[in-house]
Amino acid sequence: MPKPILPSIQSPDDIKCLREDDLPQLAQEVRDELVRVLSEENPTSVGGHLGPNLGVVELTIALHRVFSTPKDKFVFDVSHQGYVHKIFTGRRDRFDTIRQYEGLNGFLLRSESEHDCYGAGHAGTALSAALGMAVGRDLRGTDDHVVCVAGDAAFTCGVSYEAMNNAAEQTKRLIVVLNDNEWSIAKNVGAIATYLNKIATNPAYAHLHEKASNFVKMIGGQFALDFAHRVEAGVKNLILPSVIFEELGFRYYGPIDGHDIPLLIRTFEFLKTQNEPVILHILTQKGRGYAPALEKPDKFHGLGKFEPKTGATKPTLTPTYSELFGRTLSKFAESNNRLVAITAAMPTGTGLASFAQDHPSRYFDVGIAEEHAALFACGLAVQGFKPFLAIYSTFMQRAYDMIVHDMALQKLNVALCMDRGGLSGDDGPTHHGLFDIGYLRHIPNLVFCTPRDEAEFVDMLWTMNHYSGGPIAIRYPRGTGTGAKPADQPRLLEIGKSEVIRHGGSQPVRVALFGLGQMCAMAEAAAEMLEARGISAAVINPRWIKPMDHGTLEFYSRAADVICTFEDHVLHNGYGCSVMEHLSEEGITTPVVRIGWPDEFIEHGSVDVLRTKHGLTAEAAVERVLALLETVVTVEKPVGQA
């Protein structure tokens, strides 16, 4: 049995010292390490992006063999495929901690390593950032290389083409690796995916590529690569009259086998010498080397810990909000033939896979193109349809201009369904949905709600289905809720009307607790603690962020000594802010305690750990309320005095 290689890799320089014949063994050891760390074999595992990283093992080896970070810059699009890069750049001793509190982040972070030149978590950012770095290098007059690694899914993003449109005029040295595995999270869709597939699968071109590759391997050197490029370029023009990348100013090379380490190394050595922007098209397998991930690439894009031999994961006892969303929308569509569903490359993540199966003609996956998705929904609304646009809260930020300028201004009947509203735990700051209240609540003509449990979630979706007054938005959390079973027949909720869960008993109310969405459970727990101390507390489920139930707020603010708001959102410009704004406008001086996230980007980790650290607990709320009550001079006043 050969001696293990991976334990000896402490830095990229160690890869350069290996014999080339040893590199395939290193690739296998890295794959074994990925499966071990992300599966149940690692007791502390919380899972992660297995499939994408299995697919870039050879690519990452070749990059570090040929280039030298941190001097040379690797810009990974999304950067969820950066685990192998982390292992090779001095972080293997902490790799068991990935995506855990105070452990390695699941994406690249500039603050984590000097080898991470650019942080990311959203798709389509790499080409523009890499071009900026290349131009900055040119202005400084240094000789470092900038390599952008972007999956084929990134080329469904409009911003990628904005970068390519500028590249040839702004730099002479930029290497872009198009990592083509035909998947983003789901199977790629659209004309670009078809175009790339046409290049990759054309029999005549494949035959030529094989001959050219063999020639490069056999002879080596720049002459061979120049010759191969000239031959390939000629045949490409016969097969595909216009290679889109070359029309945009990039010299196109490929496609080549992205798992052939010697070929990758020789090609990168050649591309380092080129004095023009180049695109290297490589073909890889998402989930390479691990059968369960090859069979279900969408599942193994990102998942919790799993059984390593079979890839099986433990089923949840109750459906997630995402699953409930897809099933519910599919049911509603049976009686509403105007209901359509749209997602941006996330049919599984948003729960719309079931809708797609039941109503394929009314389901639209537009790829990673949130701006287009929003405008597409507007066009459908103009034609009398009811589009439900399902996009994670953190990705809906990309469609902000369309929500303001197209939906709200024209009062178009689009339903914005923001999954992962609130903390997204192990995914970290790029994926926490902690800003949507702030970026939506001030927009005219927009209605905005959030449910406290699954039963209310279905009622809200039913209400959205029947609403025709303009755009209406809903935010809901990642994962499962309280397990509240939805009614067989959903209710139409009164828009702008909150729900009083407990009034405070027979004693005059001293504290009114407003628990927004899933934080209502925390408000109820705080009320129990206060009641145990003999302090009467009311609990209100606001339901509606906009329009706010001003009547109920004013009633309790005049009846109680202290108001306390709970929200899974940043405090700045959040729900608690809107409460304080209204009380100020009405001249009501009742003090307000706000429980929410501070003005900073919240790190990754389990939700419970992060809530405790940042004071989002019932105990912390009670402590702050009690401290404030001690400063309040209680004045006898009739309950509900106006």
In the chain, where are the structural domains located? 6-202+240-291, 321-475, 499-629
Q: SS3 of 563, please?
A: strand
Q: Residue 201: what pLDDT?
A: 55
Confidence of residue 218 (pLDDT cuts 50, 70, 90): very low
Over residues 583-636, the pLDDT tens digits come to: 999 999 999 999 999 999 999 999 999 999 999 999 999 999 999 999 875 544
Sign of CA dihedral 598, 603, 604, 608: negative
Which CATH architecture group holds 6-202+240-291?
A: 3-Layer(aba) Sandwich (3.40)
More confident residue, 575 or 1: 575
Fold of 499-629: Rossmann fold (3.40.50)
Q: What's the token pair of residue 15?
A: 């890869």
Q: Which CATH architecture has domain 321-475?
A: 3-Layer(aba) Sandwich (3.40)
Which residues participate in catalysis according to the annotation?
A: 286, 370, 398
Asked whether the beta carbons of 149 and 120 are under 8 A apart, the reply is no
Helices 221-239 + 203-219 axis angle, to 10? 170
Rounded mean pLDDT, 540-566:
98
Structure confidence by residue, pLDDT tens digits, 296-334? 877 777 788 888 888 888 887 889 999 999 999 999 999
Give the confidence band of 487 by pLDDT, cuts at 50, 70, 90. Answer: very high
- The DSSP string of 400-413 is HHHIIIIIIHHT--
SS3 content of the chain, % helix, strand, coil (to 5): 45, 15, 40
Residue-wise pLDDT tens digits, 3-46: 999 999 999 999 999 999 999 999 999 999 999 999 999 999 99
- Place 59 in a pLDDT band, splitting at 50, 70 and 90: very high
Q: Strand, helix or coil at 341? A: strand
